[in-house]
Amino acid sequence: MKLVSYRKGKNSPFRIGAMLDKKNVLDLEDAFRQMEIANGGEVTENFPADPNAFFLAGPDTFELAKQAVNYVELTHVEPLQFDREEVELGTPISRPGKIICVGKNYAEHAAEMKSDIPDYPVLFAKFANALIGPEDAIKKSHLTSKLDYEAELTIVIGKEASNVHKENAGEYILGYTIGNDISARDLQKRTPQWLQGKTLDRSTPVGPWIVTADEITDPANLEIKSFVNGEERQSSNTKHLIFNIPYLIEFISSIMTLEPGDIILTGTPNGVGFAMDPPGFLNDGDTVKIEIENIGELENRVEDLR
């Protein structure tokens, strides 16, 4: 299942939906309502239409969403749905409780940044002000002249996780999406703490959808690439993560309780603009595309923040 946040019209609120195929967006609340009516004659449970409320609701609601999608696909009923081109896709989760990022998690990226391979995961945070959707522009602040891209596999937490053992980590993952950990290198590097270079307003694309974990056979073997204006910049595979996904879930959940809707950006491979000679930073009008195998593409244009 591919979960999306969508709206039809700029003045409409975003609603939780699912991609039935590459062309149609299904409204999950309406699909659930029709399923309930067909099965029992009346709607017996509330189903959140708001994407943030949906993810906070946790595993029981996710299971109901799967049932609703299966019902639509098996019965060929036609609840509220739209052609992909008729709607705007937003950030799948616009206000996650936590946005946790992992730095230096590919050895070749650590090397190009002239850093040692870390003994423990390097964690930092972003905040919701930074998040944008798959159709939004990356805003380049006047504070930076060294805006950089970072292609990252992103984990979405599906249920509360505290002191999880890595052998059981998969039970806590709802699914995966694409993140572009846009970084203002000049701001990032001017102090030992990276935060100021990592969470500029409207700078971090996430999306275009969340692919549920049951559809990703092996998250430890996914091709990951980035392109700037059509030029390939990064090309690697998640098998090269220093700290793999089960270990990250174990490590992070030992420090803090992870909750439904939290997201974890797992790190970027080598090929960032900072390490190019000359550096290949982003400017107004540039287009950045991230591709991750079995998930899709996330493409955004850069615009000066005016």
Which tens digit of pLDDT belongs to each residue from 198-227? 999 999 999 999 999 999 999 999 999 999
Task: Quote the percentage of the chain above a pLDDT of 90.
Answer: 86
User: In the predicted model, is pLDDT for residue 90 greater than 80?
Assistant: yes
Which tens digit of pLDDT belongs to each residue from 239-293? 999 999 999 999 999 999 999 999 999 999 999 999 999 999 999 999 999 999 9
pLDDT grade for 43, boundaries at 50, 70 and 90: low
- Residue-level pLDDT at 44: 59
Euclidean distance between CA atoms 247 and 180, whole angstroms: 22
Of 204, 219, 176, 223, nearest to 288 by C-alpha is 204
Assigned fold of 99-304:
Fumarylacetoacetate hydrolase; domain 2 (3.90.850)
Of 235, 168, 206, 194, nearest to 295 by C-alpha is 206
Chain mean pLDDT for the chain: 94
Q: Are strands 204-212 and 131-132 parallel, antiparallel or unpaired?
A: parallel
pLDDT grade for 188, boundaries at 50, 70 and 90: very high
Higher pLDDT pick, 79 / 12: 12
Euclidean distance between CA atoms 99 and 154, whole angstroms: 10
User: In the predicted model, is pLDDT for residue 76 greater than 80?
Assistant: no
Classify residue 141 by its DSSP letter. -
Q: Provide CB contacts within 8 A for 227, sequence distance 6+.
A: 233, 288, 289, 290, 291
pLDDT grade for 303, boundaries at 50, 70 and 90: very high
Higher pLDDT pick, 151 / 42: 151
Mean predicted confidence (pLDDT) in 31-44? 80
Of 246, 251, 237, 105, nearest to 173 by C-alpha is 246
**Residue in the structure block whose two tokens are 């979960």:** 3
User: In the predicted model, is pLDDT for residue 66 greater than 80?
Assistant: yes
Euclidean distance between CA atoms 69 and 31, whole angstroms: 7
Task: Quote the percentage of the chain above a pLDDT of 70.
Answer: 98
- Residue-level pLDDT at 37: 86
Q: Quote the Cα angle for 212-162-59, to 5°.
A: 35
Domain limits of the chain?
2-89, 99-304
